[in-house]
């Protein structure tokens, strides 16, 4: 989540001289901090259901919510693909270790995909590790603790040297929107809205594409 929005902030600063201070972390922690300390200007998270929660709690301004792009689900494996995983059915083979995320934007993605394939029970028996968010699920692959994880194809942009993407067929793919919104406690609402407009502009979309986000059905 952080690299594309930070690059957008750098470009925005170059044009308008605005200073940014980032707090990067799990969505649950960020929402808790916003609620506790009543401060912040912009919140961006990797799935709309996270912003739904923030809006329901009155922490963000609903009319300011925008989508900055979509990410496509995929099976991620270690570089070299030691277990020769080529399809979702390979995740049901004996001895294949599967990792899933139990928090953040990947919450429930393994269930969505496995259910579409009708392989929930067969894959569940091979789930050996539960990760606390995107970074943790990728650590499972980078440290070769599992043979495959359910993640986003965009991860390859950040971990080019340690992982490979096994694409899923279109009918099994899951897409989730990355959202951004102004925090209700913001003292800089107007400039925050300007930054969001920049993020969803063509320049902003170009930056997000560089990191693996998609913006049209044709791209997905």
| pLDDT tens track for 160-203 | 899 999 999 999 999 999 999 999 999 999 999 999 999 999 99
- The range of the structural domain enclosing residue 144 comes to 71-172
How many domains is the chain partitioned into structurally?
2
Same-domain pairing of 189 and 137: no
Contact 134, 189 (CB under 8 A): no
- Stated as kind and residue range, the H or E segment containing 136 is helix 134-142
Q: At what angle do helices 202-210 and 2-16 cross, to 10 degrees?
A: 140
C-alpha 50/C-alpha 201 separation (Å) is: 23
pLDDT digits (tens, 9 = 90+) for 104-123: 999 999 999 999 999 999 99
Residues 139, 92 share a domain: yes
CATH no. for residue 77?
3.40.190.10
**pTM for this model (two decimals):** 0.92
- Tell me, yes or no, whether 81 lies in a domain: yes
Residue 113 resides in a domain: yes
The answer as to whether 215 is a domain residue is no
């Amino acid at each position: 989540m952080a690299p594309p929005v930070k690059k957008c902030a750098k470009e925005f600063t170059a044009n308008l001289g605005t200073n940014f201070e980032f707090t990067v972390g799990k969505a649950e922690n960020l929402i808790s901090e916003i609620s506790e300390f009543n401060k912040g200007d912009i919140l961006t998270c990797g799935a709309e259901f996270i912003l739904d929660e923030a809006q329901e709690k009155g922490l963000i301004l609903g009319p300011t919510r925008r989508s900055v792009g979509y990410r496509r689900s995929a099976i991620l494996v270690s570089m070299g693909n030691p277990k020769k995983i080529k399809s979702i059915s390979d995740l049901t083979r004996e001895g294949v270790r599967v990792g899933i995320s139990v928090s953040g934007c990947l919450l429930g993605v393994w269930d969505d995909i496995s259910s579409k394939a009708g392989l929930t029970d067969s894959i569940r028996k091979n789930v050996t590790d539960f990760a606390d968010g995107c970074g943790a699920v990728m650590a499972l692959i980078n440290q070769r603790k599992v043979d495959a994880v359910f993640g986003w194809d965009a991860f390859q942009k950040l971990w080019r040297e340690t992982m490979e993407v096994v694409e899923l067929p279109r009918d099994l793919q899951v897409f989730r929107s990355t959202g951004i919104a102004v925090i209700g406690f913001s003292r800089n609402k107007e400039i925050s809205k300007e930054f969001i407009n920049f993020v969803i502009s063509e320049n902003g979309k170009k930056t997000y594409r560089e990191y693996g986000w998609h913006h049209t059905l044709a791209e997905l």
